[in-house]
Chain A
Amino acid sequence: AQTVTQSQPEMSVQEAETVTLSCTYDTSENNYYLFWYKQPPSRQMILVIRQEAYKQQNATENRFSVNFQKAAKSFSLKISDSQLGDTAMYFCAFPSANYGGSQGNLIFGKGTKLSVKP
């Protein structure tokens, strides 16, 4: 079965510091995408960053970067220079091959609640 595990239910970080959120997953697929989504209190799910599994280079989007270890099936998110606006739930997700494997059929982890403190 395809699964996504986020082992840190809650984390906190001081403003301007760096924090890393962990995610492990299990799939038998070889080509797939991995995503990190952010859900602030407004409930709007926002895509933070995505990684294509066939690319060895880790994805980067401004202050957000990933450490993708395909063999270990690990996909962690690093947030540098944390800002108060980064306070949110963060979800790791990937398309379920059981449901067609498109971006419309995502399996999500349970989430990590990140609090950025001033």
Chain B
Amino acid sequence: KAGVTQTPRYLIKTRGQQVTLSCSPISGHRSVSWYQQTPGQGLQFLFEYFSETQRNKGNFPGRFSGRQFSNSRSEMNVSTLELGDSALYLCASSPGRDGEAFFGQGTRLTVV
């Protein structure tokens, strides 16, 4: 069974640009969550999608958005990039409320 796949693995962007990250969950998993990991703030919850609907959202500005497709694949978008958006972005998928969350290897975003 394939694991959670995140693409790309590494990304370098310039301030002011926008970026889209992709996450393909484990087959059959309907929940996809996104987390931001930085040395200063640690791991912070961004949002969760379930069956194409955003179920919950963390405390991040509106520049961070996401969506989920009918095949459960998810994308997150960050507009007007700031230097502080440099981070490891992790995606996790789970079958539902009580299922174990499986993580992808992350996308390392560097904003210059």
Known contacts A100-B55, A103-B97: A43-B105 contact under CB 8 Å: yes
Q: How many A-B residue pairs have CB under 8 A?
A: 74
> Which of the candidate stretches B13-21, B41-49, B76-84 sits at the interface with the other chain?
B41-49
Contacts of A96 in B (CB 8 A): 45
Q: What string of 1s and 0s marks CB contacts (under 8 Å) between A40-51 and chain B?
A: 001111110010
Question: Which chain A residue has the least Cβ–Cβ distance from B108?
Answer: A43
Known contacts A43-B105, A45-B90: A104-B55 contact under CB 8 Å: yes
Contacts of B106 in A (CB 8 A): 43-44
From A42, A103, A105, A106, contact of B105 by CB (8 A): A42
Most chain-A Cβ atoms within 10 A of its Cβ — which of B57, B96, B101?
Answer: B101
Docked-complex contact B45 and A44, CB < 8 angstroms? no
> What is the interface of chain B, defined by CB distance below 8 A to chain A?
31-33, 35, 42-45, 48, 50, 55-58, 88, 90, 92, 94, 96-106
Docked-complex contact B100 and A104, CB < 8 angstroms? no
Docked-complex contact B56 and A99, CB < 8 angstroms? yes
B51 → chain A closest CB, angstroms: 12
From A99, A100, A106, contact of B101 by CB (8 A): A106
Contacts of A69 in B (CB 8 A): none
Docked-complex contact A102 and B48, CB < 8 angstroms? yes
Known contacts A100-B56, A108-B42: A44-B98 contact under CB 8 Å: no
29 contacts between A and B (CB under 8 A): A37-B103, A45-B92, A47-B100, A91-B43, A96-B45, A99-B45, A99-B56, A100-B48, A100-B55, A100-B56, A102-B31, A102-B97, A103-B97, A103-B98, A103-B99, A104-B32, A104-B48, A104-B50, A104-B94, A104-B101, A105-B33, A105-B48, A106-B33, A106-B35, A106-B43, A106-B101, A109-B42, A111-B42, A111-B43
